[in-house]
C-alpha cells in the first residue's frame, strides 16, 4: 500500500530512479577510488601513510562543499531545483570521465585524482540541498514521510549495489569501474531531463532578498530550532568519529586478508542493514519518541563500530557493519523528517544545505579524521576511538539538547 501511494506520483518515481542510478555510480566510484589510491600509495608508502592518503580523498571532496554549502542552499531557495540537479549530474559525469582517462595511465598523479575529487565535491554541494528541498514538491503532504523513507531506500539500495559492483569491477580493472560509474551517471542525466519536462512547482517563491541576507535568515532559523540543529549536529559528530569507511580498504587487505571483492562486501553489508531497516520504516514509520529513537540508534552505531574494530573474523565484521547500518538508518530517518517536514519550504534549501554540509563533514571529513587517527593510533585504534567517541557525544548531546531528547511526534509547521 505504501509503495503504491508513493510511486503513483510520476515526478517522485522519476527522481527516485535518478537518485538510485546516481547513488550506485557514487559508490561504485568510491570503491574504485579507495582501492586505487591505496594500491598506488602502497607502491611508495607504508600502511599508515597509505591509509592517510585514502582519507585525503574525503578531504578533497569536503573542502569545496564546506566553502560552497551556504551559497548552494541560497541558490536552491532562488532557482529551479531541477535545473540545479541536472547541472550537477553533468559535472559528476565529467568527473567520472576524467577518472576513467586517469585510470589508463600507468603512473597517475595522486594530485590529479584529488583535484577531480574536489570537483565531485562541488557537484554534491549544490545537488544535496536542491534534491532534499525538491522532494516535498513531488508528493502530497500525507505521504511525505513514506516518500522520505523510499527516497532514503534508493540511497541505501545504491549503497548495497554500488559497493558490490565496485568491488567486482575493480577486481577486473579500475578503468572498468570508473567507466561503469560514468555510464550510470549518464543514465541519471536522462531522468533529470525527464523531470525537467514535468509540470512541478520546483522554484520557491523568492522574496527578493540578497544571497547574504538569505544565508543569515537560514542560519538564524536553524539556530532557533534546537531540535533540528541538535539532530543534524549529533549526526555530524557521531558519524565523523564513528565512521570507518575510509579504513575499510586497510581492514580488507591487511587485517581481514580479503581482496577488493571482500572490501565491496563490507561496504555493502552496512547498506544492506540500512536498506532493510529503511524498508521497515517505509512500511511503518516512527511516529512517537523520535528523539529517543535517534539517540539510542547512534549509541548502537558506536557499539557496532567498536566491535567491528576488534573483530578478526570476516563474518563477524560483516554482521557488525549490518548492525551499524540498521542503527544509522533510524538516525537518518529522524533527521530527514525533521529537515524536510518541520522546516518551512522557504527555508528548506538553506537548512538542507547546512544539513548536507554536516552529512558531508561526517562522511568526507570523517574519512580524513580516520586517516589522521590511523596514522597516530593505528587502524584498529582509530576505529575504536571513533566508536567510543560517538557514544560519548550522544550522551553529551542528551544534556545539551534536551528538546531533541524529548522530541516526540514529527509534524509539519503550523501555517
What is the tens place of the pLDDT at every residue in 346-375?
Answer: 777 777 777 766 766 666 566 667 777 877
pLDDT at 47 over 80: no
| pLDDT, position 63 | 84
pLDDT at 309 over 50: yes
Report yes or no on whether pTM surpasses 0.95.
no
Kindly state whether residue 413 falls inside one of the protein's structural domains: no
Kindly state whether residue 44 falls inside one of the protein's structural domains: yes
Q: What is the mean pLDDT of the chain?
A: 84
What is the mean pLDDT of the segment spanning 15-30? 93
Kindly state whether residue 375 falls inside one of the protein's structural domains: yes
| pLDDT, position 205 | 65
Kindly state whether residue 186 falls inside one of the protein's structural domains: yes
State the angle between helix axes of 314-337 and 144-172 in degrees (0 to 180), rounded to the nearest 10: 150
| pLDDT, position 368 | 67
CA distance 164 to 182: 17
| pLDDT, position 415 | 43
pLDDT at 16 over 50: yes
| pLDDT, position 359 | 67
Kindly state whether residue 411 falls inside one of the protein's structural domains: no
CA distance 248 to 160: 15
| pLDDT, position 235 | 76
Selection from 97-101, 169-173, 262-266, 335-339 with the highest mean pLDDT: 97-101
Number of domains in the chain: 1
| pLDDT, position 50 | 86
CA distance 139 to 6: 7
What is the tens place of the pLDDT at every residue in 267-297?
Answer: 778 878 887 887 888 778 787 888 888 899 9
What distances in angstroms separate CA 134 from CA 139, 201, 227, 281, 362, one per listed residue?
A: 10, 9, 22, 21, 23
pLDDT at 29 over 90: yes
Return the higher-pLDDT residue of 385 and 204.
Answer: 385
Kindly state whether residue 263 falls inside one of the protein's structural domains: yes
| pLDDT, position 317 | 92
| pLDDT, position 336 | 76
Return the higher-pLDDT residue of 396 and 142.
Answer: 396
What is the tens place of the pLDDT at every residue in 187-204?
Answer: 999 999 999 988 887 676
Split at pLDDT 50, 70, 90, the class of 13 is: very high
| pLDDT, position 201 | 73
Which of 114-118, 308-312, 408-412 has the lowest average pLDDT?
Answer: 408-412
Greatest CA separation for the chain:
61
What is the tens place of the pLDDT at every residue in 81-135?
Answer: 899 999 999 999 999 999 999 999 988 999 999 999 999 999 988 998 888 888 8
Helix residue spans in 135-210 (DSSP H): 144-172, 174-196
What is the mean pLDDT of the segment spanning 329-355? 75
pLDDT at 141 over 80: no
Q: Which domain holds residue 393?
A: 2-405
Kindly state whether residue 38 falls inside one of the protein's structural domains: yes
CATH number of residue 388's parent domain:
1.20.1250.20
Q: How far apart are the first and last CA of the chain?
A: 29
3-state secondary structure of 200: coil
- What is the CA 306 to chain-centroid distance, rounded? 21
Kindly state whether residue 412 falls inside one of the protein's structural domains: no
* Percent of the chain whose pLDDT exceeds 90: 30
Split at pLDDT 50, 70, 90, the class of 44 is: confident
CA distance 34 to 279: 29
| pLDDT, position 296 | 92
pLDDT at 210 over 80: no
Split at pLDDT 50, 70, 90, the class of 208 is: low
CA distance 223 to 306: 32
What is the mean pLDDT of the segment spanning 152-181? 86
What is the mean pLDDT of the segment spanning 227-246? 77
pLDDT at 1 over 60: no
What is the mean pLDDT of the segment spanning 298-323? 92
Amino acid at each position: 500500500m505504501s509503495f503504491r501511494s508513493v510511486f503513483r506520483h510520476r515526478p517522485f518515481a522519476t527522481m527516485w530512479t535518478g537518485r538510485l542510478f546516481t547513488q550506485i555510480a557514487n559508490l561504485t566510484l568510491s570503491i574504485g577510488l579507495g582501492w586505487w589510491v591505496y594500491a598506488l600509495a602502497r607502491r611508495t608508502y607504508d600502511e599508515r601513510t597509505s591509509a592517510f592518503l585514502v582519507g585525503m580523498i574525503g578531504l578533497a571532496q569536503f573542502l569545496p562543499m564546506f566553502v560552497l554549502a551556504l551559497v548552494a542552499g541560497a541558490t536552491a531557495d532562488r532557482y529551479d531545483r531541477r535545473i540545479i540537479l541536472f547541472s550537477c549530474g553533468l559535472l559528476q559525469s565529467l568527473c567520472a570521465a576524467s577518472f576513467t582517462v586517469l585510470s589508463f595511465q600507468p603512473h597517475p598523479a595522486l594530485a590529479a585524482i584529488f583535484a577531480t575529487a574536489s570537483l565531485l565535491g562541488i557537484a554534491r554541494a549544490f545537488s544535496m540541498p536542491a534534491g532534499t528541498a525538491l522532494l516535498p514538491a513531488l508528493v502530497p503532504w500525507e505521504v511525505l514521510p513514506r516518500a522520505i523513507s523510499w527516497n532514503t531506500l534508493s540511497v541505501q539500495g545504491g549503497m548495497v549495489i554500488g559497493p558490490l559492483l565496485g568491488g567486482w569491477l575493480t577486481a577486473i580493472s579500475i578503468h572498468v569501474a570508473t567507466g561503469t560509474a560514468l555510464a550510470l551517471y549518464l543514465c541519471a542525466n536522462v531522468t533529470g531531463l525527464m523531470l525537467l519536462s514535468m509540470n512541478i512547482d520546483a522554484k520557491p517563491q523568492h522574496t527578493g532578498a540578497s544571497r547574504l541576507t538569505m544565508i543569515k535568515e537560514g542560519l538564524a532559523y536553524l539556530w532557533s530550532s534546537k531540535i533540528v540543529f541538535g539532530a543534524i549536529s549529533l549526526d555530524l559528530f557521531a558519524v565523523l568519529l564513528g565512521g570507518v569507511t575510509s579504513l575499510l580498504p586497510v581492514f580488507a587487505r591487511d587485517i581481514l586478508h580479503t581482496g577488493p571483492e571482500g572490501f565491496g562486501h563490507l561496504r555493502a553489508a552496512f547498506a544492506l542493514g540500512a536498506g532493510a531497516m529503511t524498508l521497515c520504516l517505509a512500511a511503518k514509520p516512527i511516529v512517537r519518541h523520535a528523539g529517543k529513537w535517534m539517540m539510542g540508534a547512534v549509541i548502537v552505531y558506536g557499539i557496532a563500530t567498536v566491535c567491528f574494530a576488534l573483530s578478526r573474523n570476516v563474518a563477524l565484521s560483516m554482521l557488525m557493519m549490518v548492525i551499524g547500518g540498521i542503527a544509522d538508518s533510524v538516525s537518518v530517518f529522524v533527521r530527514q523528517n525533521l529537515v524536510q517536514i518541520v522546516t518551512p519550504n522557504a527555508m528548506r534549501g538553506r537548512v538542507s544545505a547546512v544539513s548536507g554540509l554536516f552529512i558531508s563533514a561526517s562522511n568526507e571529513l570523517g574519512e580524513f579524521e580516520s586517516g589522521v587517527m590511523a596514522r597516530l593510533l593505528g587502524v584498529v585504534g582509530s576505529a575504536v576511538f571513533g566508536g567510543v567517541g560517538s557514544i560519548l557525544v550522544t550522551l553529551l548531546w542528551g544534556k545539551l539538547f534536551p528538546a531533541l531528547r524529548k522530541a516526540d511526534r514529527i509534524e509539519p509547521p503550523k501555517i
